[in-house]
Amino acid sequence: METQFRLAFLILLAALLAMRVYFMLKVRRSGGRLLPDKQAVQREGGLAFLILRVVLFVGLLIFLMMYCAGAAWMSTFQFTLPAWVRWAGFGLGITAVTFWTWTQVHLDTRWSAQLQLSKQHRLVTSGPYAFMRHPLYAALIAWCLALILLTANWIFFVICALSAAGVFYRIPKEEQMLIEAFGDEYRAYMNQTGKFWSRL
């Protein structure tokens, strides 16, 4: 059964990576920047913080590959969940990747992994952005929660907590950048939308 869950995990990981690589290439072909400029580095918290992000990301990829390979030491952190809950986690993961893809489609070449805007950036308010300001981060958190359920492993709980902390650290900086770029247009948009879900 664990082999099946690892295979399901690998499907979620491959789907997410394929989607992100596709949009990174699309941004690159359009002439957009993938690496941060000086202002983006400052917005992120400086060069040391950027290096920390890169190191953590590489470490995360290595860890995910070790889980896929079935590293024996990870079973120490396993906890018990019914099989149906773990498969529900897989369903949540598929839903999160689908929602994430929908978000990326509407961002199109305006997407950036860095806190920077494209040269002819415009405020995106279509698709999921019509009712929430940060659908990409919502999808990320949902994907992380899916991994906790699917793997039933405490290490993924720690990864999810660190990812959520990173999101909440980054959102104010991103919103400040957008206020500086779009002014009252973005302030009005903030009043009409929620961060992670629609306002009633």
pLDDT confidence of residue 154: 94
DSSP code of residue 113:
S
Using alpha carbons, select from 32, 21, 174, 36 the residue that is nearest to residue 109: 32
Q: Please count the structural domains in the chain.
A: 1
Measure the CA–CA gap between 124 and 130, rounded to whole angstroms.
8
Burial of 185: CB neighbours in 10 Å, binned 0-12, 13-18, 19+? middle
User: Which domain range does residue 73 map to?
Assistant: 2-192
Per-residue tens of pLDDT for the chain, all 200 residues = 788 999 999 999 999 999 999 999 999 998 888 888 888 888 888 888 888 888 888 888 888 888 888 888 888 999 999 999 999 999 999 999 999 999 999 999 888 888 888 777 889 999 999 999 999 999 999 999 999 999 999 999 998 999 999 899 999 999 999 999 999 999 999 999 998 887 65
pLDDT at 85: 96
pTM of this structure = 0.90
Establish if 186 belongs to a structural domain: yes
| Cα gap 38→148, rounded to integer Å | 36
Q: HSE of 49 in the Cβ direction (CA atoms, 13 Å)?
A: 13
78, β-bridge pairs: 153
What's the pLDDT at 1?
Answer: 79
Specify the pLDDT at position 119.
77
Do the domain assignments include residue 199? Answer: no
- Note the pLDDT of residue 200: 59
Q: What's the confidence (pLDDT) of residue 148?
A: 95
198 found inside a domain: no
Question: Which DSSP symbol is given to 36?
Answer: -
Q: Are 140 and 163 in contact (CB under 8 A)?
A: yes
Q: Write the CB contacts of 174 (distance below 8 Å, at least 6 apart in sequence).
A: 115, 134
- Write the CB contacts of 154 (distance below 8 Å, at least 6 apart in sequence): 77, 78, 79
Cα 50 vs. chain centroid, distance in angstroms?
A: 17
pLDDT at 50 (0 to 100): 83
Residue 197 placed within a domain: no
Asked whether residue 200 is assigned to any structural domain, the reply reads: no
Q: Which residue has the tokens 């980054």?
A: 170
Would residue 133 count as lying in a domain? yes
**CATH code of the domain covering residue 150:** 1.20.120.1630
Q: Please, are residues 73 and 154 in contact by the beta-carbon 8 Å criterion?
A: no
Asked if 170 and 115 count as a contact pair (C-beta separation under 8 A), the reply is yes
The H or E element that residue 169 is part of is helix 154-182
Q: How far is CA 139 from CA 5, 15, 189, in A?
A: 21, 13, 20
Question: CA 51 to CA 132: how far, in whole Å?
Answer: 30
Rounded distance, CA 158 to CA 79, Å?
A: 14
